[in-house]
A and B are shown apart, each in its own frame.
Chain A
Amino acid sequence: AQKITQTQPGMFVQEKEAVTLDCTYDTSDPSYGLFWYKQPSSGEMIFLIYQGSYDQQNATEGRYSLNFQKARKSANLVISASQLGDSAMYFCAMRPDSGGYQKVTFGTGTKLQVIP
């Protein structure tokens, strides 16, 4: 069975500062993908970034980067230069490369608030 743990229910960050959102996972699958989604107060789920378990480099997408530590089973999201529009819920998710999409597992989310 898979499990995603996001231990920070809520976080504050000052505008223009960097922030790290934690995500740890547990799986017995040898190959898997990790995703981060953003959910603003308007409710939609927005895909942010993906990391494959065999990718040699940490993923980056603009101000988002993923600090992937495979041995520690962690996939933390780093947001650099926070903006007010980054205030949202953030969800970490994992999908094994075998078995299909029905095995996507989501964490419970972290609510990030950016302070002016």
Chain B
Amino acid sequence: DAGITQSPRYKITETGRQVTLMCHQTWSHSYMFWYRQDLGHGLRLIYYSAAADITDKGEVPDGYVVSRSKTENFPLTLESATRSQTSVYFCASSSPGQGKEQPQHFGDGTRLSIL
């Protein structure tokens, strides 16, 4: 089925470990995004990508790395996880342009706990 898939749905890891969250979309959307959701903050943009091999920082990029070698995949890596990175992570995608035809479509989220 077409859509946006995140994996894993749940992850527990320890501080200092590297962890990668995966995101795959089948719509061929050019734009992809990573957000984190924390209580009292809503969603905050970590990184986004306008196309394959084009990525840029969002509001809270420190401690994260992204890549986009293929249009459909946009993995997010925590190079050395810290407790402050415990959060729910959402991947989203969108086609370019304006208007109601171009909302962001979100994955189901990854709940990440760092002990």
Q: Which residues of A contact B (CB under 8 A)?
A: 4, 33, 35, 37, 42-47, 49-50, 52, 59, 91, 93, 97, 100-102, 104, 106-109
Contact at B42–A106, with CB atoms within 8 Å? yes
- A contact residues around B58 at 8 Å (CB): 102
B window 6-42: CB within 8 A of A: 31, 33, 40-42
B29 to chain A, nearest CB (A): 10
Q: Does B60 contact A (CB under 8 A)?
A: no
Closest 7 CB pairs of A and B: A50-B100, A45-B106, A106-B42, A47-B103, A106-B43, A108-B42, A44-B108
Which chain B residue has the least Cβ–Cβ distance from A45?
Answer: B106
Partner of B56, one of A4, A33, A102: A102
Q: Take A45-B90, A108-B41 as given contacts and tell me if A52 and B98 are in contact as well, using a CB distance cutoff of 8 Å.
A: yes
Report Cα–Cα, A62/B88, bound state, in Å. Answer: 30
Q: Does B104 contact A (CB under 8 A)?
A: yes
Contact at A33–B99, with CB atoms within 8 Å? yes
17 contacts between A and B (CB under 8 A): A37-B106, A43-B111, A44-B108, A44-B109, A45-B92, A45-B109, A47-B104, A50-B99, A50-B103, A91-B42, A97-B98, A101-B31, A102-B45, A102-B56, A104-B45, A107-B42, A108-B41
Chain B contact residues, majority secondary structure: strand
Please count how many residues in chain B sit with their CB below 8 Å of the partner chain's CB atoms: 27
- A contact residues around B42 at 8 Å (CB): 4, 91, 106-109
Contact at B100–A101, with CB atoms within 8 Å? no
